[in-house]
Every structure is written in C-alpha cells, then in structure tokens.
Amino acid sequence: MSRADLVVVANRLPVDRVEGPDGEPTWRRSPGGLVTALEQVMQNLDGAWVGWGGKADLEVEPFEFDGNLLVPVTLTPDDLRDYYEGFSNGTIWPLYHDVIAAPEFKRSWWDSYVTVNRRFAEAAADVVAEGGFVWVQDYQLQLVPQMMRELRPDVTIGYFHHIPFPAYALFAQLPWRTQVLQGLLGADVIGFQRVADAGNFQRSIRRLLKYPTKGDTVQVPEGDGASRLSIAKHYPISIDANHFIELARRPDIIARAQAIRDQIGSQKLMLGVDRLDYTKGIRHRLKSYGELLADGKIKGHEATLVQIASPSRPGVEAYQDLRDEIEKTVARINGDYSTVENTAIRYLHQGYPREEMVALYLAADVMLVTALRDGMNLVAKEYVAVRGDNTGVLVLSEFAGAADELGSALLVNPHDIEAMKETMMRAVAMPAPEQARRMKTMRRKVIDNDVEKWGRTFLDDLRELRDRRRETR
C-alpha cells in the first residue's frame, strides 16, 4: 500500500457506500459538513483519508477515490453503541455543548473509546509517509494525536476541534479529563473554531496539568527535563464560497428558487436548516414563531416558516424524544394557524442535495440560525455566500461560532424568546438598503475567508512547526 504525505483521520470516510444499478456496491461522496469543508483541501493534495465506512462490521481494503487513498476502519455494532452513540455522543457531545442535555459517564463507554481511537491511530500510522503530516478531525478521536506520537514520532500531527470546547467548570466533570487533555496535546497544532474555545482549552491545561502556556503555545513536557511546543489557537472553518456562488448563478437553480416561492405563496419566507439536534435551538425557534402567530404579529398569509431538520443519530434516545417533541409542536401550531391556502410551518425531516439547499437559500427572505451552542455553523455562511444581489436577512445566534465573523447579522440570544420574536419581526420588516449594507459586509468576509484559506492556514502552521524543529535538531 502506498504511503501519503498528508493523512486525514476522521470518524467517517468522505464517501457513502451505496448499491449501483447492477446491485454491486459503489461509493459516492458524502454531503456532510466535514467532508464539504475538507473537499477542496484534499483535492489540492496527494493524500489519504482514514475513517469508518458507514456500516457495522464492514471490512473493505483501502481504495482510490477522486485521486485520494481511502482507508476504511472497521467498527462493530458494540463499537457503534459504546464508542460512537455512547461516549462520543452521550458523554462528550452534551458536555461540550454546555450540558444542554445531561451527559452520562460510563466506564464501558470510555474503554470502547480508547480501543477505537487506537484502531484509528494504527490505521493512520500504517499509511502516512516518513516525516509526513497527520490531521485528526474532531471530538470522536481526541486520543489519536498522542497515540500517533507514540506510534510514529517522525510525523507532524494536527488536530482540529469542530465543536465547542467547554469552560473549565464543565470540562472538569469528565472523569477522564486528564487523559483527554494528554491525548489532544499529542498534536503539534490544535485548532479550535473560536478564540474562546482555545482559551477554555488552555485554562484546562493550566488547571489540570500545570503545563505553562504563553499566547497560543503550550509547553508539553517530554521527560528528562525536555519539552515540546504545541500551538493551540482558533482557525475558524468556512465553506467553498466560490462553489456556492456558482451554484446560485445556475439558471436551473434560480428557476427552482422561483418555483419554491410560487409554491409557498406567502409574502415572506423564513427558513431554518439544521440537523435534528438539541443544540440547534429548533424548539426555541418554533416557540418564538408560534407566539408571533398567537399574538397576531404575523398572519398565516403573510409569512411561512420552512424548517428542514435532517435526520441525526436515530439510535440515541434523546434524539428520538426531540423529534417527537418538535413534530408535536409543528402539528399543534399548524392545527391552530394554518388555513386551506396557507401552511404556517412546513416541516421536512429529510436531507437534501446541495443544489436544492442553494435554491432554498435563494428563495428565503430570512435565514434563522438560532443554535443554543454551535462550533461554527456553516449554513449561515452558505446563505450569505449565495445572496449575490445583497438581499436577505440572517438572524444568527450569538452562541454560534459564525457570530464572531458575521457581526452584521441580527445577533440574538435564542434563550430570550421575547428578543427572538422582536428580532424575527425586525428581519421581516428590514428595508432593502439596510439588508444590502449588512449582506455586503458579511459576503466580503465569507468570500475572503473561505475553506481553502482555512486549510492552508492550518497546514502552513503545521509545516512551519515541523521546519522549526528540524532546524533545532
């Protein structure tokens, strides 16, 4: 098997396994946010990607896809239950999202997490070239950097944390907090979405490990009085802005956007696009919209809320309960306020291809991104990118990482229902000149700071650190 200069390690491969017309399995590129973010970065490099193939007990040999080597990691049903649904999404996800839901701390989940992380690390160690780079992605694999350092001390290791990193008072609840920090500090460069996330990480380092930090750096002891420098700072992720702009100019997508407008029929179309997750603030959004209808501030013929909630983690009980609650809320609001001609909320529990999403973005007068906590939220940036005529209004949670860059959006605290209602009404009534002024500012930031720049900046820091160490040896 050939070795790669850059190896990306992520929970999932960037492809989905599907049956072809002849019944034979084939692979197609996944629509997920991480894949979208890294797609352009990987296209520009001769690299490899290590990840799970998407099906339990799937054993597949490494294969080529779009010029990159894909290296599948096998996960058993027990692994998926304990490592993925258990520790990753029953412990880490709620803990790191401000305990919006209560995390569970189970030793069997942790044991599985350690075992699976080692499996990923060993797969990456087998495929990375001598002196190459390994770039580990996200919270499911926080132990991989240190494991990689033990297996392949010749490589330079990066880690990017796509979700928030919690304040020390929350992180300290984790029984395996020290092991997680040491796992992350195996990386030479540790990236976060926001300045605050990097700060939370460094505070935990100082409090729990007593390692010295200065600016964006951490001194990591390596025994015999020696130490190693790690960089821990923010690298806000973005989108392939030019790709979305090109899609928004396609005649068929423009026609589809107009067809959506014609079907809705309402004067204003408000749009929410989220994974079905308790961190996304969908309940708060529906409550605010329902109260606006109840107060008579919005009439059924004046506006429609289209809410897309793509399926997410159906095996986790908290997500099953959330879906039930949201669908009951939508049914109640529609029963009270819809008419034969107009539907108050159009709720779609489905995923859609990128082309359809761009058509929806073009059709929407108001984009509602009201997460209770979010690492970044690329939907906000996608909406801004496609609005080439500088119309449209973005309502954005101040608790989403995108708020750091898109300050010209209407920022809102989604826990404050009255403020949400006022902001939604302000968005609906915003004059065109104000829309244009705000949208121009946001589009400039999204276009100037695209995903290619994000990947290049992170990899440049990795290369600089590697070169600096070579010079001091």
Beta strand pairing status for 213-214 and 217-223?
A: antiparallel
Is 224 in the same domain as 270?
no
CATH of the domain at 319: 3.40.50.2000
Q: Please provide the size of the chain in residues.
A: 473
Q: Which two tokens stand for residue 366?
A: 């108001």
Is 178 in the same domain as 264?
no
Is 164 in the same domain as 279?
no
> Is residue 234 pLDDT above 90, yes or no?
yes
The predicted pLDDT at position 35 comes to: 72
Beta strand pairing status for 63-65 and 68-73?
A: antiparallel
Is 291 in the same domain as 425?
yes
For residue 269, being part of any structural domain is answered with: yes
First CA to last CA distance, the chain: 31
DSSP track, 129-196: EEEEEEEEESGGGTTHHHHHHHH-TTSEEEEE--S----HHHHTT-TTHHHHHHHHTTSSEEEESSHH
The predicted pLDDT at position 42 comes to: 73
More confident residue, 29 or 344: 344
For residue 473, being part of any structural domain is answered with: no
The predicted pLDDT at position 473 comes to: 64
Q: Which residue has the tokens 């990607």?
A: 49
Is 271 in the same domain as 209?
no
3-state SS assignment for residue 359: helix
| pLDDT level of residue 40 (50, 70, 90 thresholds) | low
For residue 392, give the DSSP letter: -
The predicted pLDDT at position 299 comes to: 85
Residue-wise pLDDT tens digits, 421-464: 999 999 999 999 999 999 999 999 999 999 989 999 999 999 99
Q: Calculate ∠ Cα 177-180-184, nearest 5°.
A: 140
3-state SS assignment for residue 222: strand
Amino acid at 383: Y
> Is residue 44 pLDDT above 70, yes or no?
no
Beta strands in 224-267 (DSSP E): 226-234
Beta strand pairing status for 217-223 and 226-234?
A: antiparallel
> Is residue 28 pLDDT above 90, yes or no?
no
Is 202 in the same domain as 245?
no
The predicted pLDDT at position 223 comes to: 77
The predicted pLDDT at position 231 comes to: 96
The predicted pLDDT at position 398 comes to: 97
Beta strand pairing status for 226-234 and 47-52?
A: unpaired
Q: Which residue has the tokens 């004059």?
A: 431
The predicted pLDDT at position 34 comes to: 67
Q: Give CA–CA dist 73/437, Å, rounded.
A: 48
Q: What is the mean pLDDT of residues 166-178?
A: 98
Percent of the chain exceeding pLDDT 90 equals 81
Q: Which two tokens stand for residue 316?
A: 């986790």
> Is residue 77 pLDDT above 80, yes or no?
yes
Selection from 412, 422, 417 nearest residue 283 by Cα = 417
For residue 49, being part of any structural domain is answered with: yes
| pLDDT level of residue 315 (50, 70, 90 thresholds) | low
**177, 204 Cβ separation under 8 angstroms:** yes
Residue-wise pLDDT tens digits, 339-388: 888 899 999 999 899 999 999 999 999 999 999 999 999 999 999 999 99
94: alpha, beta or left? (left if phi > 0; alpha if psi -120 to 50): alpha
Beta strands in 235-284 (DSSP E): 268-275
Lowest mean pLDDT among 35-39, 152-156, 181-185: 35-39
The predicted pLDDT at position 399 comes to: 97
Neighbours of 113 (CB within 10 A): 27
> Is residue 391 pLDDT above 90, yes or no?
yes
Q: What is the mean pLDDT of residues 168-180?
A: 98
Is 187 in the same domain as 308?
no
**198, 218 Cβ separation under 8 angstroms:** no
**Domain of 353, in residue numbers:** 241-448
More confident residue, 243 or 34: 243
Is 287 in the same domain as 218?
no
Lowest mean pLDDT among 14-23, 251-260, 272-281, 327-336: 14-23
The predicted pLDDT at position 320 comes to: 84
For residue 216, being part of any structural domain is answered with: yes
| pLDDT level of residue 238 (50, 70, 90 thresholds) | very high
Is 273 in the same domain as 140?
no
Q: What is the mean pLDDT of residues 117-132?
A: 96
Kind plus residue range of the DSSP H or E element containing 6: strand 4-12
Q: Can you name the residues that pair with 366 across neighbouring β-strands?
A: 270, 393
> Is residue 330 pLDDT above 80, yes or no?
yes
Is 229 in the same domain as 271?
no
Residue-wise pLDDT tens digits, 96-112: 999 999 999 999 999 99
Is 223 in the same domain as 246?
no
Domain count of the fold of the chain: 2
Angle between helices 107-127 and 144-151 (to 10 degrees): 40
Q: Give CA–CA dist 447/258, Å, rounded.
A: 25
The predicted pLDDT at position 193 comes to: 97
Is 147 in the same domain as 200?
yes
Q: Which two tokens stand for residue 206?
A: 């100082």
Neighbours of 227 (CB within 10 A): 13
3-state SS assignment for residue 31: coil
